[in-house]
Amino acid sequence: MEKATEPGKNEKEALLREVQRLLDSGIYGAVTRTKTIAVVGNGGAGGNILQRLHRMGIKSMKNIETIAINSDERVLDLLKDVDKRVLIGKNLYEHPEGAHGRTDLARKMIDAARESLEVLINPYPVLVLIGALGGGTGSELMVEMSKMGVEKGKLVIALPIMPFSAETGRRALAKRVMKRLESSGAIIAPLDNDMLMKDERIRKLSMAEAFETLDRIIFRKIREVQD
């Protein structure tokens, strides 16, 4: 990662323009002012889950738009099916590659992109936030996007995922982040990767298959929100 510099005005304006372009594109125009739900994938896990929800047919639900936000350019570029992909951190790094588990760094990247993120969520009265806690970007985005949405009077439903207990440091960080998320005013439906270790049948699956069982739970929860 290159050395951080102060965010330049031009780069901020470029991100704002990019977000405006995203909003002007795609199905957005057709469904403006209908009750569109933004399903937002935050950080690495959030984005990957969102991409898998596309494979599971999330777009067959009405009035859903998907948005992935991450500070890892390469990971974000892989999410081909997601409606809108928003890279943060470009104000601070030429090629942002995540926050390396550092919430302070993630917070800086979010602060530099705050204006654009506010514009991004503006059209949607309902936000469903997905992301795992314990890393840098997803943790901070879950908290900050929740607060931002609630402050703007939106219905915010957060689906935070606790990391495995075996990830000791991450689990401890996730617990602290969860407390902050709880005071954001969002409706919270927590999920836990440990759940995948407890079930005998799931334990026999590969990691990818195990994650898919959690994806299916998330899929069902989004359908409940949509109904």
Ligand X SMILES: Nc1nc2c(ncn2[C@@H]2O[C@H](COP(=O)(O)OP(=O)(O)OP(=O)(O)O)[C@@H](O)[C@H]2O)c(=O)[nH]1
Binding site for Mg ion (CB under 5 A): 44, 72, 98
Q: Does residue 138 interact with ligand X by CB under 6 A?
A: yes
164 binds, among Mg ion, ligand X, none (CB under 5 to 8 A by kind): ligand X
Q: Tell me the CA distances in angstroms from 156 to 37, 39, 141, 143, one per residue in order.
A: 10, 10, 13, 11
Per-residue x/- track, 11-50, ligand X (CB under 6 A): --------------------------------xxx--xx-
What's the token pair of residue 78? Answer: 């892989």
Query: Which 158-187 positions form the footprint of ligand X (CB under 6 A)?
Result: 161, 163-164, 167, 170
Least separation in angstroms between residue 53's CB and ligand X is 11
Helix 137-151 vs helix 103-121: crossing angle, to nearest 10: 40
Least separation in angstroms between residue 32's CB and ligand X is 30
Least separation in angstroms between residue 154's CB and Mg ion is 25
Question: Other CB atoms closer than 10 Å to residue 205's CB: what's the count?
Answer: 14
Taking the alpha carbons of 45, 114, 172, 185 in that order, is the dihedral positive or negative?
negative
DSSP 63-76: TEEEEEEESBHHHH
Calpha distance 222→127 (Å, rounded): 10
Per-residue x/- track, 93-112, ligand X (CB under 6 A): -----xxxx----x------
Least separation in angstroms between residue 20's CB and ligand X is 25
Question: Other CB atoms closer than 10 Å to residue 181's CB: what's the count?
Answer: 24
Which residues sit at the interface with ligand X, rule CB under 6 A? Answer: 43-45, 48-49, 71-72, 98-101, 106, 132, 134-138, 161, 163-164, 167, 170, 193, 211, 214
